[in-house]
Each structure stands twice: as structure tokens, then as C-alpha cells.
């Protein structure tokens, strides 16, 4: 456990576009600090990002420059930054972005103190088992600290490497810094697999370094000019070009909690983390009641249905969106995909990923319990974390 409580002083310095800050020494290993010390040093650099459509995280990498995930800016006409000391600043524009690695550099209105700049570490030194610390805003709980290790360094293809981590992340953690034992940023938390057991991913800091080092073409932050990233694609997972449904079982994605309560045609039960609407007949060909509704920051982000059978759901969804992806397919060493370990008619676990974001998943929990989960584009497993 001691390895989870270590990191280093002296890694925080001035950085800026064209000067990404100090790199880790090639000869002298940095001193180590506890997790609490890492968090205390990093917290002034971490910001909560609020837009009209998202709640996320970012961190300062240069005076007046914040890095976050590009998908955080989806449908954003404006963005506000909140620092741990209560300071607020508006984003004045997008300095640059890297769609292939889901990164964006934001310009902020007010200047930041020198100590609020986080330095970048060398992610190429990471090995499976190395301790890491993540800071983020999971489910709106700002400036949360989580610990874990590098589970693996995944080479998805020649242009994309991902850090698989065990440090827990949740919606709202997108764009947060992943820190190594010396307190330097080695990654940016980006996504998790909803159907996996603590399968979380970060993009390596090398991509942030490259973004900082190149010339910038600033643009205003408006819904019309917000850049879009291509969705991440694991192995040979197909993407459907069909539009994501505006509503599921009569419930419009993004609707308020109040409107959802009014929309329920049956008995409404409020659970701890969701609403359950019990209806006699669900207006979906393959499903029956009840309908579970999940919210974040007061908006409907996910709908879960109970299917009449796995085959009914698979047949209907395949006819509409094309063949699904089986997440049981594993990576081979070249980044390609291997065949499923089990036939599709056993323990069904299928997924449709949409080119513009969003996903639909079928999970056969038992022969009598098959669930279909619709996750909205802004908040899906490749979305707003």
C-alpha cells in the first residue's frame, strides 16, 4: 500500500505553448510524497468545467491555459472554470485541439498564479503496477482524489496509446490530471467502460506535450465552431452512422427530472440513484416495464429497459443499427481484435456505438433478466467523464 501514497516535490513549474514545462530527470529520481501531499500540490491547478451540456474537469498547464478533453466542449457555447479556492474564470476560446486524442487547450480570462501550473511527466516510463493518483469531479463531487495503479499500457493502433488504470473515475472526471508518484501529469482521464469492472482509461501526457509545442490557431467557443472529435474505436468495434434516438420509451434524453416525472404514464417510484416508472406496456418492440431513468445534474442521461428476451432485443436493434460489437473481444499485441471467447448465444453482452456519441448495450443477467441500456451521447462511456 505504501506505493499508493508516494509522489514528488519540485515537479511543478512554469509551462506554456511551445514550452511544456520541465521533464523528469533522466538520472536522479524525484523525491516521493504521500497521496495527500500530491493532492494538496495539484489541487490549485485543477478546475471544474461547467458548460450548458456538461460538467467536467481540467488542469492548468501554462499561465491562462487549461487542458481538458475535447468531448467536454460538445454543444458548448460557453464554459466557466471553478478553482478550488473559489476563484471563477470564463473560457475565452479554444487555443488548439487534438481530435484524434480527445484533447483541447482552453484560454481563460483571468491570469493564474505561477504555482497553479502543473508540469508534465514522462508517460513512456510507466509500467503495469505503477501507482497513480487521479483528481476530478465524479458525479459533480468536485476536487475528488482517487488512487490506483497502471493496469496496462494499451497500444490501440499506431496513432493511439491508452493508459488503462484502476483509479476510479465517473461522469464529471473527464479531462482531469492523472499524476505519477512524483506528482507530474502522466495522463488525462478520458473514458471508462460502463460494462467493465473498473476499466478506466487515460490518454498519455505525450499528446498534451505535442499539443503545447505546436503553433496555435485560436477560435471562439461557440456551438457553431466547437470542434468535434471522432469517437474512440476499440479493436474492430463497428460504429453505426444512424442518428442516436431523441427519446427512449417516450422519455426524451436531456429532459429535466420534473418533466420526466410528468411523462411517466404509470406508477413512479423514486430510488436512491434513479427513478423507476412502472408501466403496463413500453412503447418499444422488444421491451416490457418497468423503465429506469438515470439523471446527472438534473438531466436525463440514461434509460434502462427490461427486454422480453435477448434475441428480441438483438434482432430489433440489429435491423435498425446494424451488427453490434461484443465487448468480450480482446486486444491482440498489434491492437487488432480476437474472436469472442464464447458464442453470442451464451451470456449475451452486446453494444452499439454511435459515430456522434452514445451507446446501446444489451446485458443478459440471467435467462429471465435481460437489460437494455441507452446512454446519451454527451454522457456515454466515451463521453463525459
Reduced 3-state DSSP string for 304-367: EEEECCHHHHHHHHHHHHCCCECCCCCECCCCCECCCCCCCCCCCEEEEEECCCCEEEEEEEEC
Containing 202, the helix (H) or strand (E) segment is strand 200-204
Written out in words, the top-level CATH class of the domain with range 2-213 is mainly beta
Question: pLDDT digit string (tens) for 32-68?
Answer: 888 999 999 999 999 999 987 778 999 999 988 999 9
Residue 287 · residue 372 · CB < 8 Å: yes
Whether the predicted pLDDT of 176 surpasses 90: yes
Residue 268 · residue 259 · CB < 8 Å: no
Residue-averaged pLDDT of the chain: 78
How many Cα neighbours within 13 Å face the side chain of 212?
26
Instruction: Mark 22-39 as b/e (b = at least 16 C-beta within 10 Å).
Output: bebeeeeebebbebebbb
Query: What is the per-residue pLDDT for 223?
Result: 64
pLDDT bin (cut points 50, 70, 90) of residue 334 is very low
Could you state, in order of their start, the residue ranges of all structural domains in the chain?
2-213, 239-379
Question: pLDDT digit string (tens) for 231-263?
Answer: 544 444 567 878 888 899 999 988 888 899 999
Only one residue has cell 499528446, namely 207
Amino acid at each position: 500500500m505504501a506505493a499508493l501514497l508516494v509522489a514528488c516535490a519540485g515537479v511543478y513549474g512554469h509551462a506554456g505553448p511551445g514550452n511544456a514545462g520541465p521533464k523528469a530527470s533522466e538520472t536522479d529520481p524525484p523525491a516521493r510524497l504521500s497521496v495527500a501531499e500530491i493532492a494538496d500540490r495539484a489541487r490549485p491547478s485543477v478546475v471544474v468545467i461547467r458548460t450548458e451540456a456538461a460538467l467536467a474537469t481540467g488542469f492548468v498547464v501554462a499561465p491562462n491555459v487549461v487542458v481538458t478533453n475535447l468531448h467536454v466542449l460538445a454543444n458548448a457555447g460557453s464554459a466557466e472554470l471553478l478553482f478550488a479556492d473559489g476563484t471563477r474564470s470564463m473560457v475565452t476560446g479554444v487555443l488548439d485541439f487534438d481530435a484524434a486524442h480527445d484533447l483541447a487547450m482552453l484560454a481563460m480570462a483571468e491570469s493564474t498564479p505561477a504555482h497553479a501550473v502543473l508540469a508534465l511527466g514522462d508517460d513512456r516510463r510507466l509500467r503495469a503496477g505503477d501507482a497513480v493518483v487521479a483528481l476530478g469531479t465524479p458525479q459533480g463531487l468536485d476536487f475528488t482524489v482517487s488512487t490506483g495503479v497502471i493496469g496496462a499500457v494499451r497500444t490501440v493502433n499506431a496513432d493511439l496509446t491508452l493508459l488503462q488504470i484502476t483509479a476510479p473515475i465517473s461522469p464529471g472526471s473527464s479531462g482531469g490530471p492523472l499524476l505519477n508518484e512524483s506528482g507530474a501529469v502522466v495522463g488525462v482521464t478520458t473514458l471508462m467502460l460502463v460494462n467493465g469492472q473498473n476499466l478506466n482509461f487515460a490518454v498519455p501526457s505525450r499528446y498534451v506535450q505535442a499539443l503545447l509545442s505546436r503553433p496555435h490557431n485560436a477560435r471562439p467557443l461557440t456551438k457553431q465552431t466547437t470542434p468535434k472529435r471522432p469517437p474512440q474505436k476499440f479493436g474492430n468495434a463497428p460504429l453505426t452512422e444512424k442518428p442516436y434516438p431523441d427519446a427512449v420509451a417516450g422519455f426524451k434524453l436531456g429532459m429535466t427530472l420534473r418533466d420526466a416525472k410528468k411523462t411517466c404514464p404509470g406508477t413512479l417510484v423514486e430510488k436512491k440513484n434513479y427513478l423507476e416508472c412502472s408501466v403496463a406496456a413500453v412503447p418499444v418492440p422488444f421491451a416490457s416495464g418497468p423503465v429506469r431513468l438515470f439523471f446527472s445534474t438534473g438531466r436525463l442521461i440514461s434509460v434502462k429497459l427490461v427486454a422480453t428476451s435477448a434475441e428480441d432485443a438483438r434482432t430489433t436493434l440489429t435491423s435498425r443499427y446494424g451488427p453490434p460489437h461484443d465487448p468480450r473481444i480482446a486486444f491482440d499485441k498489434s491492437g487488432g481484435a480476437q474472436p469472442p471467447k464464447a458464442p453470442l448465444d451464451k451470456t449475451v453482452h452486446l453494444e452499439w456505438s454511435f459515430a456522434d456519441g452514445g451507446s446501446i448495450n444489451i446485458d443478459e443477467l440471467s435467462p429471465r433478466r435481460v437489460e437494455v441500456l441507452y446512454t446519451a451521447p454527451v454522457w456515454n462511456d466515451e463521453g463525459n467523464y
